Amino acid sequence: MASQFLQEVLHVNRLTIEGGVPLEGSVRVHGAKNAVLPILAATILNRGVNVIHDCPDLKDVRTTMKILTHLGASVKREGSTVIVNTEGELTNHIPDALMREMRSSIFFMGAILSRCKSARISAPGGCELGPRPIDLHIKALGEMGAKIQESHGYINCEAEHLVGTNIHLAFPSVGATENVLLAAVFADGKTTVTNAAKEPEIADLAAFLNQMGADIRGAGTGVVEITGVKELHGAEHTVIPDRIVATTYLAAAAATHGNVTLTNVIPAHNTAVLSCLKDCGCSLTIGEQSVTMRAPRVLAPLDYIKTLPYPGFPTDAQSPMMAMLTVADGTSIVAETIFESRFKHVEELVRMGADIKVDGRVAVIRGVPALSGATVTAMDLRGGAALVVAGLAANGLTEISNLQYIDRGYEDIEHNLRSLGARIRRA
């Protein structure tokens, strides 16, 4: 089968699903997109060879590898391992076209600033989830002594040297926390971040930085301390499993009343989702690095889910779990508190027979006996995943277009789901 890259070029971007088959069997969860992206950016902080294992082959990862190559690093993939050599001279500028390919590459700002003392990147701009402001990033780096000005759609940062200080984030932003970590590793003295994001991907980034020789404590908690060091060396690292991919597979298994085992998971990273699945009547067996879930014949609804910063219910899990709730036996309510516009999948689910009413950031989902297959369009990454979950549960044929969104976060989704018995293929 043509590689995902080829399929993007050939624009083969439709999934067809013959739904109604309970998912059965075992599938391995790949490395976490939201950990590997900042980790790849962090490789420019040393002048060495970095070996990153379990690096999923995703569109966003390929874009990040293109950015590293543009900056002057040498990057190659060997299976699921990516090797990044950053010994040479690096440029400090990311062109607009590359930045536009991936809104969330803003964490290169901190990394380039640390390595090159100045950075020129284009503003990430809005995206499918609504505006992607970076005020918290700008404020934090400014407090460390960076001179930042935005003009003509570009952000220009200068900082001969960054000074450690106390930084309080008004919101526990994942990206802003990552940018501060990347900017603080060489800063003079100690930087303390309070109200830091606690997502596991932050702890994984810090683990990689510490393997390079950084001095970071408390990552994964609300208070992170970074003590500046003189230089860092190349490191080897295995990326944590993708907790949102795990959630998506479990939501699909629950929606199809199946029985699956996920391997290469860290159950502790998924407590909020696992608790919801239990409340829906799923029986869960939690292993060291696996989760086995048997779904009930009839799913119970969830009275109220509110997306929150980690360890609360993850915003990235909202849409796949909503797709599952469309066929629960009763009414569920979902509040999306993190992003402004993250209900674009609702209209597409309604086309498949779901009964969902949206009022601002709250969606009321009244379960229906069954969805019916339809032709639907992915509008963003996790919304696209929700359509896959719905298509697997629906009676009849579902066709999903705009796969480039889904391919940003799911490696070979059709192959992995087929291994669980799904009747799914890329057109």
Which residues contact ligand EPZ (rule: CB under 6 A)? 33-34, 37, 104, 132-137, 171, 173-176, 197, 199, 315-316, 338-339, 381-382, 409
Backbone angles phi, psi at 286, to 5 degrees: -100, 120
Kindly report whether the peptide bond that precedes residue 311 is cis, defined as omega within 30 degrees of 0.
yes
Position of tokens 């705009």? 402
Structure tokens at 305: 């889910």
Neighbours of 151 (CB within 10 A): 8
Backbone angles phi, psi at 9, to 5 degrees: -65, -40
Q: With beta carbons less than 8 A apart as the criterion, state whether 59 and 98 touch.
A: no
Instruction: Give the CB-nearest residue to ligand EPZ.
Output: 175
Tell me if residue 360 falls in helix, strand or coil: coil
Min dist CB 196 to ligand EPZ, Å, is: 11
Please indicate whether residue 127 is annotated as part of the active site.
Answer: yes
Min dist CB 386 to ligand EPZ, Å, is: 11
Min dist CB 172 to ligand EPZ, Å, is: 7
Min dist CB 167 to ligand EPZ, Å, is: 12
Min dist CB 307 to ligand EPZ, Å, is: 9
Angle at 385 between CA 379 and CA 388, to 5 degrees: 105
Spatial distance between the Cα atoms of 57 and 55, rounded to a whole number of angstroms: 7
Q: In the complex with ligand EPZ, which residue's Cβ is closer, 282 or 349?
A: 349
Spatial distance between the Cα atoms of 84 and 43, rounded to a whole number of angstroms: 7
Spatial distance between the Cα atoms of 378 and 361, rounded to a whole number of angstroms: 20
Q: In the complex with ligand EPZ, which residue's Cβ is closer, 219 or 328?
A: 219
Q: In the complex with ligand EPZ, which residue's Cβ is closer, 97 or 170?
A: 170
**Cβ neighbours of residue 22 closer than 8 Å, sequence gap 6 or more:** 253, 256, 257, 258, 259, 295, 421
Min dist CB 339 to ligand EPZ, Å, is: 5
Q: In the complex with ligand EPZ, which residue's Cβ is closer, 186 or 313?
A: 313
Neighbours of 114 (CB within 10 A): 24
Q: In the complex with ligand EPZ, which residue's Cβ is closer, 195 or 290?
A: 195
Structure tokens at 191: 């930087």
Neighbours of 112 (CB within 10 A): 27
Kindly report whether the peptide bond that precedes residue 301 is cis, defined as omega within 30 degrees of 0.
no
Spatial distance between the Cα atoms of 185 and 166, rounded to a whole number of angstroms: 14
Angle at 61 between CA 59 and CA 62, to 5 degrees: 65
Q: In the complex with ligand EPZ, which residue's Cβ is closer, 115 or 137?
A: 137
Helix (H) or strand (E) holding 135: helix 135-143
Q: What letter would DSSP give residue 164?
A: -
Q: Which of 55, 116, 127, 157 is catalytic?
A: 127
Min dist CB 203 to ligand EPZ, Å, is: 13
Residues marked active site are found at 127
